[in-house]
Chains A and B, each alone.
Chain A
Amino acid sequence: MQTYVFPMLILGGLGLFFGLLLAFGSKIFHVDKDERLDLIIDALPGANCGGCGYSGCAALANAVLSGEANVNACPVGGAKSAERLAEIMGVKAEPTFKMAAHVNCRGGINAKRKFEYDGIMDCVAASKLAGGPLECAYGCLGYGSCVAACPYDAIHIVNGVAEVNAADCKACGKCVAACPRHIISIVKDPLDVFVSCSSHQKGAELRKICNIGCIGCMLCQRNCPTGAITVTDNLASIDYDKCIGCGKCVEVCPRKLIIDAGEHVVKIDAE
């Protein structure tokens, strides 16, 4: 009797006591939780990359639930997750474009160097040393801080310059944050044309230090049929709302730095 019944009574009693305590506690400390939250978290990729601007997928799910963020806010999930989120939230998803990162520099082996850098192979470290080893103050240093930051292995150093593989890129923006030169931007993909230079240096000076940089010759601005290109501070920029993708600027650019997204790598002899 004592050997079998008492232990059962004691443990059963303890279990009952704590069970009641927890049941009681869950009533007192009840927090209203929307059941759609778990559904939304399931529909998101779960990479917790922070590309949406929130601290993780769960934080975005909360924001979507409160109406703070749009259902298509996740750049990684893209149209697929937007569709499922819209279904859960009972709204219609607006069409999303695939976004991708682009490095606005084609310097690399085309750019002249001030000195041979032999320090830590990291762009932030390199840029701290006398403004970086490149003569150009805007160009890609090519030490791969963005490569290390990319969680999807979508960015690599090709010919001394970071190159995004748009097919792998999920537009999470990690590389944008990692780049000390601030020359990576998130743009629509496929994008018809883009200016692959970030230098605001005057044309004559720039010619001396880079074989490929934008010299601000205004040819593209003059030849654009829709007025989508403007040259400000010696650098051409394209207004993608106006751009019709005619390719005129690609033809006229004497430096061949306005390029089709189709042909990512421009082949220029480095001498």
Chain B
Amino acid sequence: MNLTHYFSLSLSAILIENFIFVKFLGCCPFFGVSKKTDTALGMGVAVTFVMTVASAVTNLINTYILKENFAYMRTVAFILVIASLVQFIEMFLMKSMPSLYDSLGIYLPLITTNCAVLGVANLNVSNGYDFISSVIYGFSAGIGFTLAIVLFASVREKLEYADYPKCFTGFPIALVAASLLSIAFMGFQGLKVF
């Protein structure tokens, strides 16, 4: 495992196999929290943090506790880890960063049900990543998520002033915009050189 491997790993998680635009994971917060760039960025940072720590902890649990014998318990155990992590972060933020806690509001506990977090834990296992690769993959996936949601939020802010047919108001035009962004990200497939 050398530096090139880690670089290609993170590049693929951020651009080539972006969690939202290519894997279509975590679409709920992607559409729910993307009305404003500020909140989108906050959500992205929180998700990145949870994904990184969740990747590390689930990797340890999978390698040392579950192993191959109890592979069927992965989902249950991973969800347990993610839920506890989010709960822990919530307490930590409430104590040390109350302003960030207030601005994230309901979206903080909602990270628990974000399928991208469980997705990254499962992908780590199915791709057979070791501990460091898992952490890097989790972190990069979070960065990819943040990139996608912030890009989309800025597009949606511009959409407010766009001239489109009235019947597309709200979610329809957001879905169209998301699909166009998704197509744009398909262009990164060509980067698969490493």
Complexed CA–CA distance, A4 and B94 (Å): 40
Q: How many residues of A contact B (CB 8 A)?
A: 16
Say if the beta carbon of A6 comes within 8 Å of chain B: yes
Say if the beta carbon of A266 comes within 8 Å of chain B: no
| A10-B65, A21-B84 known; A26 vs B77 contact (CB < 8 Å) | no
Q: Are A22 and B70 in contact (CB under 8 A)?
A: no
List the one stretch of B15-23, B31-39, B85-93, B174-182 in contact with chain A: B85-93
Complexed CA–CA distance, A18 and B76 (Å): 13
Q: Are A14 and B77 in contact (CB under 8 A)?
A: yes
Q: Mark A14-44, 1 if CB is under 8 A from B, else 0.
A: 1100100110011011110000000000000
Across-interface contacts of B88 in A (CB, < 8 A):
21-22, 25
Across-interface contacts of A227 in B (CB, < 8 A):
none
Say if the beta carbon of B100 comes within 8 Å of chain A: no
Say if the beta carbon of B73 comes within 8 Å of chain A: yes
Across-interface contacts of A6 in B (CB, < 8 A):
69-70
| A7-B70, A7-B73, A21-B88 known; A29 vs B81 contact (CB < 8 Å) | no
Q: Which of B73, B77, B87 contacts A22 (CB 8 A)?
A: B87
Across-interface contacts of A15 in B (CB, < 8 A):
80
| A10-B66, A14-B65, A14-B80 known; A29 vs B91 contact (CB < 8 Å) | yes
Say if the beta carbon of A11 comes within 8 Å of chain B: yes
Across-interface contacts of B77 in A (CB, < 8 A):
10-11, 14
Give the Cβ gap from A216 to chain B, nearest Cβ, in Å: 43
Q: Are B95 and A29 in contact (CB under 8 A)?
A: yes
Q: Which of A10, A26, A29 contacts B73 (CB 8 A)?
A: A10
Across-interface contacts of B66 in A (CB, < 8 A):
10
Complexed CA–CA distance, A15 and B61 (Å): 12
Q: Are A31 and B80 in contact (CB under 8 A)?
A: no
Complexed CA–CA distance, A128 and B162 (Å): 20
Across-interface contacts of A30 in B (CB, < 8 A):
95
Give the Cβ gap from A87 to chain B, nearest Cβ, in Å: 27
Across-interface contacts of B70 in A (CB, < 8 A):
6-7, 10
Give the Cβ gap from B84 to chain A, nearest Cβ, in Å: 4
The closest CB in chain B to the CB of A59 belongs to: B102
Across-interface contacts of B94 in A (CB, < 8 A):
29, 31
Complexed CA–CA distance, A49 and B20 (Å): 34
The closest CB in chain B to the CB of A19 belongs to: B84
| A7-B73, A10-B70, A14-B61 known; A25 vs B80 contact (CB < 8 Å) | no
Q: Mark B127-150, 1 if CB is under 8 A from A, else 0.
A: 000000000000000000000000
The closest CB in chain B to the CB of A17 belongs to: B84
Q: Which of A2, A14, A26 contacts B91 (CB 8 A)?
A: A26
Q: Which of B51-106 contact A (CB under 8 A)?
A: 61, 65-66, 69-70, 73, 76-77, 80-81, 84, 87-88, 91-92, 94-96
Give the Cβ gap from B136 to chain A, nearest Cβ, in Å: 24
Q: Are B92 and A22 in contact (CB under 8 A)?
A: no
Complexed CA–CA distance, A43 and B18 (Å): 45
| A29-B92, A29-B95 known; A11 vs B87 contact (CB < 8 Å) | no
The 9 closest A-B pairs by CB, nearest first: A18-B84, A29-B95, A29-B91, A25-B91, A25-B88, A31-B94, A31-B95, A29-B92, A22-B87
7 additional A-B residue pairs with CB within 8 Å, beyond A7-B73, A10-B70: A6-B70, A14-B65, A14-B80, A14-B81, A22-B87, A29-B92, A31-B94
What are 19 residue pairs bridging A and B, where the CB atoms are less than 8 Å apart in the complex? Answer: A6-B69, A10-B66, A10-B77, A11-B73, A11-B76, A14-B61, A14-B65, A15-B80, A18-B80, A21-B84, A21-B88, A22-B87, A22-B91, A25-B91, A25-B92, A26-B91, A29-B92, A29-B94, A31-B94
Seen from chain B, the residues whose Cβ lies within 8 Å of a Cβ on chain A are 61, 65-66, 69-70, 73, 76-77, 80-81, 84, 87-88, 91-92, 94-96
